Amino acid sequence: LIEQGNYDKAIEKSIKKMLKGNADTDDKLMLDKAYRLANQQDEERIKFLKSEGKPENWEQIYFTYSRLDRRQNQVRKVLPFQIKGKTFNYNQKDYASLLAESKTKAAEYHYAFGKRLMEDQLKESYRSAYQSFLKAKKYRESAFPDINNLIDEAKLLGTTYVLIEVSNATNARFPADFYDKLLAINTSGLESNWVNYIVGRNSRSDRYDYLITLEIQNIIVSPEEYSSKETQRKKRVEDGFEYVLDSRGNVMKDSLGNDIKIPKYKQLTCVLIEREQHKEATIEAQVVFLQTTPRQIKKREALSGTSVFNHVSARAIGDYEALLPEDKVKLKAEPLPFPDDLSMLMDCTEPLKNAFEDIVRSNKNLIY
């Protein structure tokens, strides 16, 4: 472990054995060597970071002092210890003031850096400022009375707000329920810490960073159509019996003296007349992804939703016994009134909404 530079793991391994009372000389020697090398490495790192004179280094300096303090407390558990009659005991250093100083300076840096980032007035800068303000609060909240307000402001300004809406470019007028069905989108899995989706109508579009609009462009409703089809069914059924006659016209007998009879068949015929009713409605649309600042269309994608009314009824002429079982089921169906155009278009909302949601999800990478 020491050869690999894993000093703290070597220290932890040795201490575990020493606390259990089964450490040998090599374990103790490993602890001593690893402890000295780890401290030397960290102290040199701190010296270098301070020599650079960069305010952003104070966070790393604080982390390194924390590591030194944590390591010292860990090793203190087994002090003093002996190796071949020699007592090992390390001087204890008070890191409290060094930790306090570096922590305060790290907090001051993140506070100042966050405020500088806010001046850029960019989403990415607001988000970075938010993280800096959180660190400043974590390290020294009491030093910054306005820190919570700055965190809230950076969060608000760094968040991307996306409005999902529906527009109607046709002359058709739809009830509010029509739009509600199209906007019944599940946004779970779309949102993140920095992206917030709002689904609704009649919202002020200038408040949003992106608009995702389902634009209804065309409505197609087919005429009410009827079609007929005739199918003839034939079935051979048993119809009594007849005697078997010999060449002289006499009834033949079997070995027991009984008359020989054979089944007699007849053919049944029936004509099945099916009447099919058909009507379709389709809503053609496109999804437009618009970035508001700078104003530009990121993508357009076409989609549609269709509803179909299909109904089959039937009547029969002839002997019903010739019909198949499924034919008899059709005979039970009566012709139905055609649904009106609005009902058909309302039925289009579900497939259209599903296609809309799929497009929004597959293009979530456009929003950031």
Are residues 34 and 82 located together in one domain of the fold? yes
Are residues 139 and 85 located together in one domain of the fold? no
pLDDT for the residue numbered 3: 81
Question: Model confidence at 206, in pLDDT bands (50, 70, 90)?
Answer: low
- Average pLDDT rounded to a whole number, residues 313-319: 94
Question: Model confidence at 205, in pLDDT bands (50, 70, 90)?
Answer: low
Residues above pLDDT 90, as percent of the chain: 85
Are residues 13 and 80 located together in one domain of the fold? yes
Task: Say whether pLDDT at 257 is over 90.
Answer: no
Cα–Cα distance for residue pair 154/195, rounded to 1 Å: 14
Are residues 69 and 120 located together in one domain of the fold? no
Number of domains the chain contains: 2
**Residue 66: domain span:** 7-93
Q: Look up residue 119 and give its two tokens.
A: 């001046």
Which among 113, 141, 158 is the end of a domain? 158
Cα–Cα distance for residue pair 273/317, rounded to 1 Å: 8
Residue 12 inside a domain? The answer is yes
Residue 129 inside a domain? The answer is yes
Task: Say whether pLDDT at 204 is over 80.
Answer: no
- Average pLDDT rounded to a whole number, residues 126-154: 96
Helices (H) and strands (E) in the chain, counts: 10, 8
- At residue 332, the 3 state secondary structure works out as coil
Residue 99 inside a domain? The answer is no
Are residues 115 and 86 located together in one domain of the fold? no
The pTM assigned to this predicted structure is 0.74
Instruction: Classify residue 310 as exposed, middle or buried by CB count within 10 Å of its CB (0-12, 13-18, 19+).
Output: exposed
Are residues 149 and 79 located together in one domain of the fold? no
Which among 112, 142, 158 is the end of a domain? 158
- Average pLDDT rounded to a whole number, residues 325-331: 92
pLDDT for the residue numbered 300: 97
Task: Say whether pLDDT at 1 is over 90.
Answer: no
Are residues 73 and 120 located together in one domain of the fold? no
Are residues 60 and 30 located together in one domain of the fold? yes
Residue 337 inside a domain? The answer is no
Residue 209 inside a domain? The answer is no
- Average pLDDT rounded to a whole number, residues 236-242: 89
Which among 121, 140, 158 is the end of a domain? 158
Are residues 56 and 14 located together in one domain of the fold? yes
Task: Say whether pLDDT at 165 is over 70.
Answer: yes
Query: Measured between alpha carbons, how far apart are the two ends of the chain, in Å?
Result: 44
- Number of CB atoms found within 10 A of residue 162's CB: 23
Cα dihedral value 1, 33, 30, 9, nearest 10: -40
Are residues 13 and 85 located together in one domain of the fold? yes
Are residues 34 and 88 located together in one domain of the fold? yes
Q: How far is CA 98 from CA 45, 48, 55, 104, in A?
A: 15, 16, 16, 10
Longest dimension (CA), the chain: 138
Residue 317 inside a domain? The answer is no
Are residues 11 and 87 located together in one domain of the fold? yes
Residue 21 inside a domain? The answer is yes
Residue 235 inside a domain? The answer is no
- Average per-residue pLDDT for the chain: 94
Contacts of 127 (CB under 8 A, 6+ apart): 154, 158, 194
